[in-house]
């Protein structure tokens, strides 16, 4: 009987030891209380608790967490009510402060986000609210991070998920956007027409310039061709005159040579005065065959005429 009791006690002791042996997973922290008061934090790894004295008060995840809150009604500076929902990215950095700092910390972050968002949007007009998401995100992140430090929470960033203005504001914005798009379309079309006209004018200008240059080049080429033709004709005429002058010179030279030869032969023959008179008469006959209107007859030729008449009578006899 005693052995059974001892065995049961040993089993109970083993059970108690095993039940108080804890292994903390990665990215978690256990908050341990001893006799109802905070004792210590258990980080990753095996740990042994004191039976019946220590207990795990809270298991805290130190991973980055995301809290997606419901849309909150806010009023802008120009009295426009809109719905804005936010997404908060936070991380627990102090398990003790997170456990004992605030009751329902997620609800506390949600309410703090809503009040901060109302304060920021209340200082901005509708147009600025719609175009200043980054500014609003930065302001909310800084304010929430400072406010949650005492809770052991680090707010990494806050994002505005949706901004929903009233239906009538959306209709007005759509009409405004449509008008703006139409205006831009007309501007683009006008600019396109302007550029097209400019290009056409520039094309016509370049075409006229090219045509003028082409006409100029044609005139230059035509003038150069005429100049070369005139030079060639002048050279041809000059060559022709040179050849004619050379021919005449050669003819004169030939005549003079023949005349000199005839004179030499005549001198060699030792002609008498009657032969010389006869030659003179032949030369006078050739001169008389010309187109001259007046002829001066030398006295020697007159004597020769009488001589010719005497020779005629002699021939008749």
Which of these three, 165, 184, 214, is where a domain ends?
A: 165
Same domain, 121 and 211: no
Asked, for residue 294, whether it belongs to a domain, the answer is no
Residue with structure tokens 């001066």? Answer: 296
**Residue 265 burial (10 A CB sphere; 0-12, 13-18, 19+):** exposed
User: Rounded to an integer, what distance in angstroms lies between the CA atom of residue 96 and that of residue 32?
Assistant: 9
pLDDT (0 to 100) of residue 310: 52
pTM beyond 0.75: no
126-144 residue pLDDT tens: 888 888 888 899 999 999 9
Same domain, 83 and 52: no
Judged against a pLDDT cut of 70, whether residue 313 lies above it is answered with no
Choice among 2-16, 24-38, 120-134, 224-238 with the minimum mean pLDDT = 2-16
Same domain, 75 and 112: yes
Same domain, 76 and 156: yes
pLDDT (0 to 100) of residue 240: 86
Range of the domain at 14: 2-61
Average of pLDDT values for 296-300? 54
Confidence of residue 246 (pLDDT cuts 50, 70, 90): confident
More confident position, 53 or 299: 53
Confidence of residue 61 (pLDDT cuts 50, 70, 90): very high
User: Rounded to an integer, what distance in angstroms lies between the CA atom of residue 61 and that of residue 37?
Assistant: 21
Average per-residue pLDDT for the chain: 82
Same domain, 160 and 219: no
Asked, for residue 295, whether it belongs to a domain, the answer is no
Number of domains in the chain: 4
Asked, for residue 297, whether it belongs to a domain, the answer is no
Judged against a pLDDT cut of 60, whether residue 281 lies above it is answered with no
């Amino acid at each position: 009987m005693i052995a059974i009791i001892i065995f049961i006690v040993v089993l109970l002791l083993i059970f108690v030891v095993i039940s108080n042996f804890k292994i903390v997973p990665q990215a978690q922290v256990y908050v341990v209380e001893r006799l109802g008061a905070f004792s210590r934090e258990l980080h990753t790894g095996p740990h042994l608790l004191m039976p019946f004295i220590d207990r795990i008060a809270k298991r805290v995840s130190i991973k980055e967490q995301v809290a997606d809150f419901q849309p909150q009604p806010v009023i802008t500076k120009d009295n426009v009510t809109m719905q804005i929902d936010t997404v908060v990215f936070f991380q627990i950095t102090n398990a003790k402060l997170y456990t004992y700092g605030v009751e329902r910390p997620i609800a506390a972050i949600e309410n703090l986000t809503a009040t901060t968002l109302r304060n920021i949007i209340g200082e901005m007009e509708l147009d600025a609210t719609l175009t200043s998401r980054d500014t609003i995100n930065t302001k909310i992140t800084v304010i929430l991070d400072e406010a949650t430090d005492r809770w052991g929470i680090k707010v990494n960033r806050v994002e505005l998920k949706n901004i929903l203005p009233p239906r009538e504001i959306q209709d007005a914005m759509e009409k405004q956007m449509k008008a703006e798009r139409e205006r831009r379309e007309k501007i683009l079309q006008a600019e396109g027409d302007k550029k097209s006209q400019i290009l056409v004018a520039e094309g016509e200008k370049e075409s006229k310039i090219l045509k003028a240059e082409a006409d100029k080049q044609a005139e230059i080429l035509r003038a150069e061709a005429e100049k070369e033709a005139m030079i060639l004709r002048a050279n041809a005429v000059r060559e022709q005159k040179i050849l004619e002058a050379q021919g005449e010179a050669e003819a004169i030279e030939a005549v003079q040579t023949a005349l000199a030869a005839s004179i030499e032969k005549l001198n060699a023959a030792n002609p008498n005065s009657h032969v010389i008179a006869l030659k003179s008469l032949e030369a006078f006959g050739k001169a008389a065959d010309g187109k001259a209107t007046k002829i001066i007859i030398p006295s020697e030729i007159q004597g020769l005429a009488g001589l010719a008449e005497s020779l005629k009578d002699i021939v008749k006899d």
